[in-house]
C-alpha cells in the first residue's frame, strides 16, 4: 500500500470547486433511466449516452472524477479506452465494484451489498485498465422497526473489507453508506439513523485498519424523507448534516462527497451550497451525484444525435452551478484561514 498515492488521489478528487460524476448505473438501473426517455438500453446506446456526458466541452472544470460501470470501463471513445479518454481530460477514472444490494436473509425488509468474492482479482484488473478509485454502495432503509443493528453491522463490515482491499492496491475507496430518503420520516429520524450508521462504519473501518486519509465518504445528507409532510429547509438540512458529521466523521477523512439520493437538481445544488456555508467542518464537502447532475441532460438528449449539443449544454450548466458554489466557499474559507494565520502571527 502506498499511502502517498492514496492521499494524492483522494485530495485530487475533492479539489476546490470540483466533484465526482456517478455514471456507474448498473445494467438494470441504466435501462430504467433510458426507459424514461423512451430508449431501449443496450451497450451501444448506453455508451452513446455516456459519451455525450464525458465529451462535454469544459466539463473537466467541474469534474474531478467519474465513476464507471464494468461495461463502460471496457468501452472506447475516439479510439481511446474510456479511462484513457477521461484521464486525457484530467478527469480521474473510478469504478463501481459492488455487485448490488440484495435481501438480507431473515430480515425481509433490509438489504446487504454483495461483491467481496473475487474482489482482490477484480481490483487488480481494474487498476491495470486505469481505475484510480472505486465505489461500493450500501443501502440502509428507514421504517418502523428498521434499520436493525444486524443490517447496519453487516453493511459496515463489508464496506470496511472492501475499503481495505482497495487500499491494498492503491485504489482510493469511496465508502457509500446510503440512508434512503424515500420514507415519511422527519429530519430528526434521518439524523438518528445516519449517526448510527456512520458510527458503525467508522468503527469497522478502524478495525480493518483502513487509512482514513486515503479514502472518501459518500453519504446521504441529513434530510426529511420524501413522503414526510414537513420538509426541512436547505439551511436546516445543512445545519443538521454538518452537526451530525462533526459528531461521527473523523477529521482525517479528506473529503465528503454527497450523493443526491433522488433530490431534484436544484435541491441538491442548493443544499450542498448551504452545507458549505456552515463553518467549522474539517473536510472538503463536495458531490458525487448521479441523478442530480444527469437528469436535465438525459431528458434534453432523449436518445437523439441532434440533441447532443443542447444536452451537453444542460449538463455543463448544472455542473457549473454545483461546482461554482463550492469554489466560492472554498475561496472564502482560504481567505479566512489566511486572515486567522496572520492574526495569530501578530499575537505570537
Residues interacting with ligand 5MM, by CB under 6 A? 22, 24-26, 29, 100, 137, 178, 259-261, 289-292
Annotated catalytic residue, options 25, 110, 176, 270: 176
Q: Which is nearer to ligand 5MM, 10 or 68 (CB)?
A: 68
- Between CA 294 and CA 209 the distance in angstroms is 35
Cross-strand bridge partners of residue 216: 174, 255
- Give the separation between CA 19 and CA 10, rounded to whole angstroms: 11
Cα–Cα dist 247/96, whole Å: 28
For the residues of 227-258, what is the DSSP string, one character each? T-SS---HHHHHHHHHHHHHHHS-TT--EEEE
* Catalytic option among 135, 218, 270, 296: 218
CA–CA separation, 258 vs 278, rounded Å?
15
In angstroms, give the least distance from the CB of 312 to ligand 5MM: 19
Dist CA 32 CA 41 (whole Å) = 8
DSSP for 67-91, please give it: EE-HHHHT-EETTEEHHHHHHHTT-
For this structure, is 218 an active site residue?
A: yes
Q: Which three cell numbers stand for residue 78?
A: 475516439
Indicate the residue among 29 and 141 with the shorter CB distance to ligand 5MM: 29
CB of 4 to ligand 5MM, least distance (A): 27
Considering the complex, what minimum distance in angstroms separates the CB of residue 209 from ligand 5MM? 26
d(CA 80, CA 96): 20
Packing angle, helices 308-347 and 265-277, rounded to 10: 10
| Least distance between ligand 5MM and beta carbon 335 (Å) | 30
- Give the residue with the Cβ less far from ligand 5MM, 174 or 210: 174
| Residue placing its CB nearer to ligand 5MM in the complex, 36 or 343 | 36
* 178: annotated active-site residue: no
User: Measured from the CB of residue 251, what is the shortest distance to ligand 5MM in angstroms?
Assistant: 24
Tally of CB atoms within 10 A around 124: 12
With DSSP H G I counted as helix, E B as strand and the rest as coil, what are the percentages for the chain, rounded to 5? 55, 15, 30
- The CA distances from residue 176 to 54, 179, 250, 261, in Å, are 23, 9, 16, 12
Looking at the DSSP bridge assignments, the partners of residue 67 are 22, 94
Q: How many C-beta atoms lie closer than 10 Å to residue 128's C-beta?
A: 8
Closer residue to ligand 5MM, CB minimum distance, 100 or 309: 100
- The smaller minimum CB distance to ligand 5MM, of residues 3 and 103, is found at 103
Q: Cβ closer to ligand 5MM: 35 or 251?
A: 35
Rounded to a whole number of angstroms, the minimum distance from the CB of residue 271 to ligand 5MM is 12
For ligand 5MM, the nearest residue by Cβ is: 290
Q: How far is the CB of 347 from ligand 5MM (least distance, A)?
A: 44
Active site amino acids:
176, 218
Amino acid at each position: 500500500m502506498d499511502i502517498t498515492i492514496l492521499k494524492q488521489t483522494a485530495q485530487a478528487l475533492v479539489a476546490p470547486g470540483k466533484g465526482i460524476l456517478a455514471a456507474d448505473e448498473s445494467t438494470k438501473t441504466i435501462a430504467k433511466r433510458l426507459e424514461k426517455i423512451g430508449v431501449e438500453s443496450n451497450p451501444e446506446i448506453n455508451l452513446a449516452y455516456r459519451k455525450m456526458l464525458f465529451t462535454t466541452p469544459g466539463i473537466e472544470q467541474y469534474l474531478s472524477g467519474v465513476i464507471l460501470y464494468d461495461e463502460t470501463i471496457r468501452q472506447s471513445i475516439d479510439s481511446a479506452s474510456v479511462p484513457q479518454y477521461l484521464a486525457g481530460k484530467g478527469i480521474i477514472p473510478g469504478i463501481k465494484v459492488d455487485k448490488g444490494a440484495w435481501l438480507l436473509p431473515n430480515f425481509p425488509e433490509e438489504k446487504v451489498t454483495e461483491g467481496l468474492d473475487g474482489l482482490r482479482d477484480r481490483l487488480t484488473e481494474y487498476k491495470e485498465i486505469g481505475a484510480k478509485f472505486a465505489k461500493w454502495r450500501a443501502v440502509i432503509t428507514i421504517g418502523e422497526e428498521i434499520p436493525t443493528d444486524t443490517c447496519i453491522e453487516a453493511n459496515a463490515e463489508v464496506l470496511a473489507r472492501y475499503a481495505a482491499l482497495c487500499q491494498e492496491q492503491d485504489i482510493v475507496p469511496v465508502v457509500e453508506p446510503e440512508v434512503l430518503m424515500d420514507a415519511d420520516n422527519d429530519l430528526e429520524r434521518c439524523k438518528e439513523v445516519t449517526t448510527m450508521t456512520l458510527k458503525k462504519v467508522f468503527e469497522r473501518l478502524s478495525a480493518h485498519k483502513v487509512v482514513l486519509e486515503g479514502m472518501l465518504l459518500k453519504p446521504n445528507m441529513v434530510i426529511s424523507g420524501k413522503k414526510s409532510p414537513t420538509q426541512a429547509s436547505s439551511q436546516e438540512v445543512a445545519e443538521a448534516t454538518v452537526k451530525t458529521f462533526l459528531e461521527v466523521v473523523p477529521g482525517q477523512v479528506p473529503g465528503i462527497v454527497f450523493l443526491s439520493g433522488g433530490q431534484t437538481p436544484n435541491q441538491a445544488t442548493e443544499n450542498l451550497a448551504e452545507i458549505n456555508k456552515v463553518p467549522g467542518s474539517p473536510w472538503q464537502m463536495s458531490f458525487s451525484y448521479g441523478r442530480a447532475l444527469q437528469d436535465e441532460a438525459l431528458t434534453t438528449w432523449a436518445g437523439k444525435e441532434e440533441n447532443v449539443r443542447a444536452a451537453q449544454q444542460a449538463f455543463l450548466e448544472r455542473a457549473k452551478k454545483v461546482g461554482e458554489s463550492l469554489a466560492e466557499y472554498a475561496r472564502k474559507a482560504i481567505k479566512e484561514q489566511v486572515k486567522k494565520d496572520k492574526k495569530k502571527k501578530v499575537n505570537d
